[in-house]
Amino acid sequence: MSAAPARGASRHRRVVAAWLALGLAAFALLPWYFPQNVSFWQALPGAFGDADSASALWQALAHGRPWLWAGLLGLAICGAGWLLPPARTQGWLWTLGAGGGLVTLLASGFAIGASGWAFESLAAQLPALPQGQYGVGLGGALVLLSLLMLLGAGLARLGFFRGDFFVAAAVVLCTALLLLFVALPVAKGLAGAFVDDGGAFSPAALVERLAQDRVWGLSCVVGGVRCGVAWNTLFLALLTAAGTTLMGTLIALLAERGAPRLARPLNVLALLPIIIPPFVVGLGLILLFGRAGIVNQFLEWAFGLPPSRWFYGLFGIWLAQLFAFTPIAFLIMRGVVQGISPSLEEAAQTLRASRWQTFRSVTLPLLAPGLANAFLVGFIESMADFGNPIVVGGQYAVLSTDIFFAIVGAQYDQGRAASLALVLAGFALAVFLLQQRLLGRSSYTTLSGKSDNGLPMPLPDGLRRLCTGLALPWLAFTVVVYLFAFVGGFVQTWGRDYTPTLAHLRTAFDLQWGEFGLVWAGTAWNSLFTTLELAAIAAPLCAGLGLLISWLLARTGFAGQRAFEFGALLAFAIPGTVLGVSYILAFNVPPFELTGTALIIVLCFVFRSLPVGVRAGSASFKQLDRSLDEASTMLRAGTATTLRRVVLPLLKPAVVAALVYSFVRSMTTVSAVVFLVTAETELATTYIIGRVGNGDYGVALAYCTVLIVLMSLATALIQLLVGQRQLGRRGAPAS
C-alpha cells in the first residue's frame, strides 16, 4: 500500500474508533431517556439508578427494557469490523451492525410508548410489556448519532460515494435529519388530509375537501367576484416571486456595480425590512395606506376623494410581501453578482462588445442560477406567508389564512387544513421541478483556480438608471416604514395623543437598583433573553447544515438526490401554523418527546429557515470551478480540509446570507412557534402579539424598536466576523 492510501486508512480507522468509543460511553454512562421533571444535570448521577435516569446498559439489565440491547449489539458488530483490515468484509460489518442497530432501536422506539405498546394492533397480538418508555434523551441521541456515522463509514468502505468517508457520513446524517425533522412532522400533519371525520383512512375525504368552488373556482375569470384560494395563492406567489427577484437583483447590481460610495448604505438599507417583525410591516403599511392612513387623508385633502379600503386585498398583500421578501432575494443575488469574474466581461469588451451587449450576453446568463434560486425562494415564501395576508388581505383569501382558520376556528377542521397544505406542497414541488428543468446541466462556473485581477464592468447607462430609479425610491420607502415603527413606540397614543414619552419603553425594559443589586424590572426581559439565546443557537446550526446540504447537492451525486433537495425545501412550503401543529403531533410522544421544551423551538427555527441557506449556497456553488476541490484533493487534503480551507472562504456571501436570515427569522417568526411556546419559553414575538391583542400598541412598537436595534447590531457583527470574500481583484477607482 502506498503512503497516501495508508495515511487515509489510518485516519479513517481513528475516526471510526472515536465514534465507537462515543457510542459505547453514551450507552453505558449517560441517561438514555429524556429526564422527566428534572434537569439533565440532576438526572446524570442516576445513570445506574432508577428507571427514569438510568443509562441504556442499566435499563436493559435492571429495568426490563431488553430491546435496548440492540444498540450495544450494533456497536459490538461494528467493533468487530474495526479489528479487520480495510476491505468489503469490514464495510459489510459496519453497515449491517450500524443499520441493524438503528432500525431496531427506532422500531422499538415508535412501537413502545410510555404505557406499553403504542398501537392497538400490537397490543392485541403481543403480550403486555412490564415497562413502557419515554422519549430519547442525550444518551440515546449520541448512540443513534454514532450508529449513523458508522453506517456512513460502512457505505463508504463498500464503495458508495466514491469511498469518501466524509461525504458518506454527511449524506447519511443530513438525510436522517431531514427525515426526522422535516418529513416526519410534515407527513404527520398532512396525513389528516386522507382521514375522514370519523378517523378512518379515506382518500375520498381528500377529494371532497378539495373539489370545492372555494378552492379551485374560476368565477373571477368570467366576471364573478372572486376565484378559488388555490388560484389566488398561485397568482400572488408568481407576482411576488417576480417582483422580489427583480428588486433584489437591481439592488444587488447597484450595490456591487454602482457608485462605490453607495455600496455600504445600500447593503444596510436593503437588509432593514428583514429585521422588522412581519406584523410591524403590516401595521406600518396600514398607517400609510389604510382607510385612516396618511395617503388617504392626503387624497381627500388634495382631490376630495373619500377614504376607502382600496389598499386591502391583492395589492396590499403583494406590496407587503414585496417589502418583506426582497431582502432575501438581495442576499442571494449579492453573492452571485460578487462571484462573476470580471475577466469574462473584459474578454467580451476586448472583442468590441458594448457594455450593454456584454451585460446581456455574458453577465446576465451567469446570473441565471441566482435568479432561479431567488425566484424559487420568493415563490415559496409568498405561498407560506401568513402574517401579511391576515393583516392586509381584506377579502382576498389565500391558502395560508384558510389553513389557519381551519385550525384555530370554531370548527377545528384539521382535515381541511391538511388538504389545503397538501395543495401548497404540490405548488412548491411543481416550481422546484420547473427550476431544475430550466437550469438543467448548464455550467455557470465563474470562479476557478486562476488569478483574477480584473475590474468589474460598470453597469450600462440605461440599466444603471433603471436600478437607481427603482431601487433608491424603494429603499427610501423602507426608511419611512422604519420611522413609523420607531415613532409609534415613543408617543402616548398613536392617532390621538402624539405627546413624546418613554413610558412604553420603561414598561417593557425597566431597570432598577434594588437591595441586592440590579433588578430587571421590565416585563419583556425574560422573553428577550430567551429569544436571543435560542436564535443564537439556531443560526449557526441552520447556516452550517444549509451550506453542507448545498455542497452535497453541488459536488456529489447519489441516488435520490432530487428528493433529498426537495426535502430540504419542504419546510418552507408549509405554512408556519401547519408546521407548528405538525411538530406537536410528531414530537409529543416517544421516541422523541420534545413538546414543551426549548429544543423543539430551536429545531423549528433551524429547519424552517434551512432552505435559504441551501439556495444561497447552491447559487454560489454553481460559480465555483470543481478544479478548486480537485486541486486540493491532489495535494492530499481530505474532504473536510478542502471544505474548510478552500471552499468555505469563497462562500462568505452565502454564509452571511444564511446566518443573518436564520438569526433574524428566529427573532421575528410568529406563526411557526405560536403553538410551541410555554410560560418558560415565551418569545419576543409572542409577547408582542399578546400586547397587540390587548390593544397596547405603544409597548409592542417600543419592543419592536429594541428588536430592530439588536438585530441591526447582530447583522453587522455577523458580517464583521465572517468578513469579505477576497478574489484578488484590483480596487475600482473612486468616482
Residue 731 domain flag? no
3-state secondary structure of 519: strand
pLDDT number for residue 733: 46
In this structure, the answer to whether residues 263 and 331 fall within a common structural domain is yes
In this structure, the answer to whether residues 263 and 218 fall within a common structural domain is yes
In this structure, the answer to whether residues 336 and 465 fall within a common structural domain is yes
pLDDT number for residue 360: 84
Beta-sheet pairing, 497-500 with 491-493: antiparallel
The CA-based dihedral angle spanning residues 672, 676, 682, 687, taken in that order and rounded to the nearest 10 degrees: 40
In this structure, the answer to whether residues 485 and 507 fall within a common structural domain is no
In this structure, the answer to whether residues 482 and 521 fall within a common structural domain is no
Which parts of the chain sit beneath pLDDT 70? 1-9, 221-225, 269-283, 287, 292-293, 408-411, 436, 439-455, 485, 494-496, 572-573, 575, 619, 622-623, 625-630, 633, 636, 638, 643, 671, 692-693, 695, 723-735
In this structure, the answer to whether residues 582 and 718 fall within a common structural domain is yes
CA distance 120 to 718: 52
Cell numbers found for residue 165: 468517508
In this structure, the answer to whether residues 676 and 549 fall within a common structural domain is yes
Residue 166 domain flag? no
For 235, other C-beta atoms within 10 Å of its C-beta total 15
DSSP 160: G
Strand partners, 514: 517
Cell numbers found for residue 677: 411556546
In this structure, the answer to whether residues 139 and 258 fall within a common structural domain is no
Phi, psi (rounded to 5 degrees) for 696:
-95, 70
CA distance 143 to 22: 8
Secondary structure (DSSP) of 556-597: ---TTHHHHHHHHHHHHHS-HHHHHHHHHHHSSSTT---TTS
pLDDT number for residue 190: 81
CA distance 339 to 362: 13
3-state secondary structure of 76: helix
> 3-state SS string over 26-74?
HHHHCECECCCCCCHHHHHHHCCCCCCCCEHHHHHHHCCCHHHHHHHHH
3-state secondary structure of 654: helix
Contacts of 347 (CB under 8 A, 6+ apart): none
Angle 58-97-86 from CA coordinates, rounded to 5°: 130
DSSP 201: B
pLDDT number for residue 1: 45
CA distance 356 to 479: 32
3-state secondary structure of 512: strand
What's the CATH code of the domain at 255?
Answer: 1.10.3720.10
* Last residue within a domain, chosen from 439, 469, 494: 494
Contact 328, 335 (CB under 8 A): no
pLDDT in tens, 492-535: 876 567 788 888 888 888 888 877 777 788 888 898 999 999 99
In this structure, the answer to whether residues 562 and 683 fall within a common structural domain is yes
pLDDT number for residue 629: 66
**Number of domains composing the chain:** 3
The CA-based dihedral angle spanning residues 648, 652, 657, 660, taken in that order and rounded to the nearest 10 degrees: 100
Cell numbers found for residue 199: 378517523
If you count them, how many residues does the chain have? Answer: 735
3-state secondary structure of 516: coil
Average pLDDT of the chain to the nearest whole number: 81
Residue 514 domain flag? yes
For 75, other C-beta atoms within 10 Å of its C-beta total 25
In this structure, the answer to whether residues 521 and 490 fall within a common structural domain is no
Dihedral sign from CA coordinates of 134, 135, 138, 143:
positive
CB neighbour class for 596 (10 Å; exposed up to 12, middle 13-18, buried from 19) = middle
Q: Where are the alpha helices (DSSP H) in 440-502?
A: 461-488
* Last residue within a domain, chosen from 448, 463, 494: 494
Q: Where are the alpha helices (DSSP H) in 291-441?
A: 294-303, 314-339, 342-350, 355-358, 364-366, 368-384, 387-392, 399-408, 414-439
Beta-sheet pairing, 511-514 with 112-113: unpaired
Residue 177 domain flag? no
The CA-based dihedral angle spanning residues 466, 470, 473, 479, taken in that order and rounded to the nearest 10 degrees: -130
pLDDT number for residue 47: 78
In this structure, the answer to whether residues 434 and 450 fall within a common structural domain is yes
pLDDT number for residue 2: 47
Residue 298 domain flag? yes
Secondary structure (DSSP) of 621-638: HTTB-HHHHHHHHHTT--
Contact 436, 553 (CB under 8 A): no
CA distance 611 to 594: 23
CA distance 711 to 274: 9
CA distance 296 to 289: 6
Residue 40 structural domain: 3-119+129-158
CA distance 205 to 417: 12
Residue with cell 412532522: 185
Residue 176 domain flag? no
Contact 418, 341 (CB under 8 A): no
pLDDT number for residue 6: 56
Residue 734 domain flag? no
Quick one: how far is CA 273 from the chain centroid? 18
* Last residue within a domain, chosen from 474, 494, 514: 494
Residue 113 domain flag? yes
In this structure, the answer to whether residues 450 and 595 fall within a common structural domain is no
